Amino acid sequence: MEGVVAISGGASGIGLACAQAVLATDGAVAVADRDAAALARAAMLLEGPRTTTRLLDVTHEDAVLAWMEGLEGLSGCVTCAGISAHTPTLEVAAAQFRQILDVNVTGSFLVAQAAARRMAAGGKGGAIVLIASVSGLSGMQDRVAYSASKAAVINLAAAMAVDLARYGIRVNAVCPGPVETPMVARLHDAATRAAWTARIPMRRYATAEGVAQAVLFLLDPVRSGDITGQAIPVDGGFSTAGLMP
């Protein structure tokens, strides 16, 4: 893959897997994350001349702009930074709701917008992939804030795709189902895992590496050059399953 791919939330989980997938194609990555310890571990795993890392809070506009302005040859961007909470609707505090939307929606927008400006200025176009979720495609129990944020991310990709097509920039969303990531390990107890698995035709959680391959496809202008504004589930069939035994 030619050029540099910027990955927010790239120190663990899907973001780290995306960085490794890009490097495997001989591309270069710029990884940003707000978790200093995770970023240090990722820097060791990704060490090499084609990797840069940066401590970053995606909700801080000036910091995001400074990160993007330092990147030369930007051809791709993946917005992986996100947070979640499992709280029933009647118990969600306004502060928690706002925080989840701020990180997941505003943070995704700020990173994608800054990347798009760099790509448009470079005149060569590019590809942006927003990590959404199947929680943005259908209602999920106890996930009202998270579901609302990911639905917004899906529509954000569609709207940005229309605006940015004139610059040769494609924007798509990937909607994972449950994935074996550190965040899921913290949030999914045995009962939650059983409930998810019962509704997934493939009867298993996805891997971060598998989701990264879908992202890699959408970053590739040869394999996905006519795909933009789409929300693509990577969920083992969860979002389209009907009657199941």
Which residues belong to the active site?
Answer: 146
Maximum separation of any 2 CA atoms in the chain, in Å: 53
Cβ of 239: how many Cβ atoms within 10 Å? 16
3-state secondary structure of 181: coil
* Nearest Cα to Cα of residue 75 among 132, 33, 25, 109: 25
Cβ-proximal residues to 146 (8 Å cutoff; 6+ apart), any chain = 84, 85, 100, 104, 133, 135, 140
Closest CA to 77 of 34, 31, 35, 36: 31
